[in-house]
Structure 1
Amino acid sequence: MSLQDQLMKAGLVSKHDAKKANKSKHRALKSGKKVINEAKQTAVEKREEQAKRDRELNAQRKAEADKKALIAQIKQLISTNSQDRSRGEIAYNFSDKGTITKVFVTEALQNGLVNGQLAIAKLEDSYHLIPTGIADKVKQRDDSYIVLVNDRKADTSVDEEDPYADFQIPDDLMW
């Protein structure tokens, strides 16, 4: 039983209205025009919109998951490669975002920092000494975690006209 028959049986449509609808449908098919079912068209449009929203939401969730994974990688790199400075008695001063801060290190760790072999990273309000190679890996992911990396290559260049060129600053100068 077709929908048209059901509507006629329920008394919602007369026999005359049903014949009229059939004639207009037949004429449209004969003239080559497609009969567009509006309900189907709106359903298709709604499905397309929903699929688009789902894709956008999935992309946003994936970006958040990637960011969390990246932060986890950085934390693991810093925590597993952190040098033990529990026996440090020498204060090493450095600048962290305009604030002078100090950490206590051993003489070997101080030499490593001065020579550019070690870097200082900040993880959850604590400072960690990590090898420069690891600091480079962390910088590739997010450079905001690295506080200090001494580059010895940049310090070796001397300006020809510098009046204080003969007076070198010692590496172990404490300030």
Structure 2
Amino acid sequence: MASLQDQLLKAGLADEKKAKAIRNEKKKQRKQQPKGTVQVSEAEIRARKAREEKAERDRQLNLERQKEAEKKAIQAQIRQLVNTNRLDRSRGETSYQFVHDKKIKKIFVDDKMVDQLSRGRLAIVFVNDQYEIVAEGVARKIQERDENAVVVLHDRQKDDVGEDDPYAGFEIPDDLMW
């Protein structure tokens, strides 16, 4: 198959002199280009830039997806902790009021739970749009995962040793000397 240049010469649209000049010009251009470097066209540059931008967008999307997955996993852990450790408050007759989202809320618990809530041994958590009561240790674990889930957790007093204290009935005299 003949080249376009040969076809133009045969058709009489170009002459031999012009064809020779164009060939020499192309040869000079090829020799002037340093070996090993390939001239990159603008289209290739734009395509490479578009690929890099797409890769960056994909990385950002993957990070967002990972964060969402971590958030869901944490919420599932909190739900599981609450479901396995919540205390039964079905016999509650005393109302316990607390503040959540700038609103006063009320739950019914028994007298022992009210005392333990005020001493910081029990805590109120908000999970699945419900208020549940859990032990202090469980509440601390939940608080590590999500601070907003724990609604009420009072600090324990240093001198609060609990009901198991064998010396609870004895007062320490003021004039005790060692």
The TM-score normalised by the length of structure 2 is 0.67
Post-superposition Cα deviations, 1:21-53, rounded to whole Å, max 9, x if no partner, equal 343122112xx6833121444433332222222
Q: Give the equivalent residue in structure 2 for 1:104.
A: 108
Q: Does 1:118 align with 2:122?
A: yes
Percentage identity across paired residues of the two chains: 38
Q: Give the equivalent residue in structure 1 for 2:176.
A: none
Mapped to 2, the partners of 1:149 and 1:114 lie a distance apart of 8
Larger radius of gyration: 2
Post-superposition Cα deviations, 1:41-88, rounded to whole Å, max 9, x if no partner, equal 443333222222211121121112112212222222222211111111
Q: Give the equivalent residue in structure 2 for 1:37.
A: 40
CA RMSD of superposed structures (Å): 3.2
Relative to structure 1, is the Cα distance of residues 118 and 33 closer, same or farther in structure 2, using a 3 angstrom cutoff? same
Structure 1 residue 127: Cα displacement: 0.9
Unaligned runs of 5+ in 2: 9-13, 161-178
Relative to structure 1, is the Cα distance of residues 35 and 82 closer, same or farther in structure 2, using a 3 angstrom cutoff? same
Structure 1 residue 120: Cα displacement: 0.5
Q: Give the equivalent residue in structure 2 for 1:57.
A: 61
Report the AA paired with residue 64 of structure 2.
Answer: Q
Q: Does 1:90 align with 2:61?
A: no
Structure 1 residue 8: Cα displacement: 6.0
Q: Does 1:74 align with 2:78?
A: yes
Unaligned runs of 5+ in 1: 157-175
Contact 1:88 1:104 in 2 (8 A): yes
2:97 match: secondary structure: strand
Q: Within 5 Å, which residues of 2 pair with 1:133-144?
A: 133-144=137-148
Relative to structure 1, is the Cα distance of residues 23 and 113 closer, same or farther in structure 2, using a 3 angstrom cutoff? same
Contact 2:121 2:156 in 1 (8 A): no
Mapped to 1, the partners of 2:158 and 2:4 lie a distance apart of 88
Report the AA paired with residue 39 of structure 2.
Answer: I
Mapped to 1, the partners of 2:152 and 2:134 lie a distance apart of 10
Q: Give the equivalent residue in structure 2 for 1:131.
A: 135
Q: Give the equivalent residue in structure 1 for 2:30.
A: 25
Contact 1:93 1:100 in 2 (8 A): yes
The TM-score normalised by the length of structure 1 is 0.68
Q: Give the equivalent residue in structure 2 for 1:151.
A: 155
1:104 match: secondary structure: strand
Paired residues, number: 149
Moved more, 90-99 or 122-131: 90-99
1:153 match: secondary structure: coil
2:88 match: secondary structure: coil
Q: Give the equivalent residue in structure 2 for 1:169.
A: none
Mapped to 2, the partners of 1:6 and 1:109 lie a distance apart of 97
